[in-house]
């Protein structure tokens, strides 16, 4: 298919750095084959929610072969029992938090991950808040001098029942209270839309804290070019604000991943240049 010249200019001059979430994208392929597919699609980075069951040697080999950066992963390892993941805000769970965090950092170092999201787990009230502050301060100090950055992400309780960190203002306050240079905010447009409604207004409220961005449509959590949020308006805003971090595609494809990558290639409906219409 031939593309208008101005679309090439758009992609080269304006697009942020895009990463593919290999936990969710390319499910039609084996995990190790997803690296090549991501690179072939135009992604220059990847993230994996929980890479703990994979060989660091195999992951590094594919990252190097396909010239991909490992952008982000989660801590702790997945909890297969179905309870909310994480111990950062769990009162009395400090030993579990430290043990799992240390394992996560070993894996992050082995695979070259740039960011590690700290999962809060279940909890409520002031004691859970204090516990999370203390755990984040400890984790930040553990990584002093490391290139790895830590992030926290507010999650909608419609998706993660009982999750402690469920409000944007709460996340902003936690980062301010911990006051560590290696702790930032992971801005997930799907969760932010569910929590705050207006994604751009929420971005303007916290953009100075954002270390990593994830995109998906809302309310479906599918390809980001369909839904209540205008993808191009959001990209315009983060460009105008000078955001130079990664933007990860973290969504469940409606069909095959390849069929749904029009948003990445500049094939937005009725949009041939920067700033197209909002898509409903």
Q: DSSP for the chain, please give it.
A: ----HHHHHHHHHH--EEEEETTTS-TTS-GGGHHHHHHHHT--EEE-S-GGGS-HHHHHHHHHHTT-EEEEEEES---TTSSPPB-TT-TT-HHHHHHHHHHHHHHHHHHT-SEEEEPB-B--HHHHHHHHHHHHHHHHHHTTT-S-EEEE----TTTSTTBS---HHHHHHHHHHH--TTEEEEEEHHHHHHHHS-HHHHHHHHGGGEEEEEE--TTT-S-TTSSSS-HHHHHHHHHHTT--SEEEE----SS-TGGGTHHHHT--TT--SSS-----
| Most confident of the following: 5-14, 145-154, 157-166 | 145-154
Which band of pLDDT confidence, cut at 50, 70 and 90, is reported for residue 79?
low
Of the two residues 209 and 8, the one the predictor is more confident about is 209
pLDDT tens for each residue of 184-206:
999 999 999 999 999 999 999 99
Does residue 190 contact residue 183 with C-beta atoms inside 8 Å? no
- Choose the weakest-confidence range: 35-39, 59-63, 159-163: 159-163
CB-count burial class (<10 Å; 0-12, 13-18, 19+) for 7: middle
251-260 burial, b at 16+ Cβ within 10 Å, e below that, comes to bbbeeebeeb
Distance (Å, rounded) from C-alpha 36 to C-alpha 101? 29
Which are the catalytic amino acids? Answer: 153, 250
Structural fold of domain 15-265 = TIM Barrel (3.20.20)
Mean pLDDT across 21-30: 98
pLDDT tens for each residue of 213-263:
999 999 999 999 877 777 788 998 999 999 999 999 999 999 999 999 999
- Choose the weakest-confidence range: 26-30, 124-128, 174-178, 266-270: 266-270
Distance (Å, rounded) from C-alpha 126 to C-alpha 135? 14
Structure tokens that stand for 136 in this block: 């984040």
CB-count burial class (<10 Å; 0-12, 13-18, 19+) for 229: buried
Average pLDDT, the chain: 88
Mean pLDDT across 130-142: 99
pLDDT tens for each residue of 252-278:
999 999 999 999 986 333 333 333 323
Q: What is the pLDDT of residue 266?
A: 66
Q: What is the pLDDT of residue 212?
A: 98
- Choose the weakest-confidence range: 144-148, 158-162, 243-247, 274-278: 274-278
**Bridge partners for 72 per DSSP:** 47, 115
To which residue do tokens 């593309």 refer?
3
Q: How many angstroms separate the Cα of 253 from the Cα of each of 151, 216, 218?
A: 25, 10, 13
pTM metric for this prediction = 0.88
Which band of pLDDT confidence, cut at 50, 70 and 90, is reported for residue 8?
very low
Give the start-to-end residue ranges of the domains of the chain: 15-265
Structure tokens that stand for 103 in this block: 């394992």
Query: In terms of Cα–Cα distance, which of 149, 160, 158 is closest to 121?
Result: 160
Which band of pLDDT confidence, cut at 50, 70 and 90, is reported for residue 56?
very high
- Choose the weakest-confidence range: 17-31, 111-125, 180-194, 261-275: 261-275
Cα dihedral sign for 238, 239, 242, 248? positive
End-to-end distance of the chain based on CA atoms, in angstroms?
26
Q: What is the pLDDT of residue 83?
A: 56
CB-count burial class (<10 Å; 0-12, 13-18, 19+) for 242: exposed
Structure tokens that stand for 143 in this block: 């990584």
Residue 183 has pLDDT above 90, yes or no: yes
């Amino acid at each position: 298919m031939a593309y208008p010249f101005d679309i090439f200019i758009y992609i080269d001059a304006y697009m942020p750095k895009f990463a593919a979430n290999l936990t969710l994208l390319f499910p039609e392929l084996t995990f190790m084959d997803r690296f090549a597919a991501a690179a072939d699609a135009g992604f220059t980075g990847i993230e994996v929610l929980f890479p703990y069951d994979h060989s660091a040697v195999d992951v590094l080999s594919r990252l190097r072969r396909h010239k991909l950066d490992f952008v982000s992963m989660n801590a702790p390892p997945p909890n297969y029992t179905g309870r909310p993941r994480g111990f950062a805000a769990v009162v009395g769970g400090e030993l579990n938090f430290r043990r799992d965090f240390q394992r996560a950092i070993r894996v992050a170092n082995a695979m070259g991950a740039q960011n590690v999201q700290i999962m809060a787990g279940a909890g409520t009230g002031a004691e859970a808040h204090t516990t999370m502050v203390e755990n984040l301060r400890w984790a930040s100090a553990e990584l002093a001098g490391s290139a790895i950055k830590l992030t926290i992400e507010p999650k909608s309780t419609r998706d993660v029942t009982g999750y402690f960190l469920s409000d944007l203002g709460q996340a902003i306050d936690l980062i301010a209270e911990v006051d560590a240079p290696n702790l930032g905010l992971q801005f997930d447009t799907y969760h932010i839309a569910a929590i705050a409604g207006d994604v751009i207004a929420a971005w303007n409220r916290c953009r100075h804290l954002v270390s990593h961005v994830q995109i998906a449509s809302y309310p479906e959590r599918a390809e980001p070019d369909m839904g209540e949020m205008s993808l191009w308006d959001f990209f315009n805003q983060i460009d105008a604000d000078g955001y130079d971090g990664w933007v990860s595609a973290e969504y469940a494809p409606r069909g095959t991943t390849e069929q749904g990558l029009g948003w990445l290639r500049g094939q937005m409906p009725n949009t041939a240049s920067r700033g197209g219409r909002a898509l409903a």
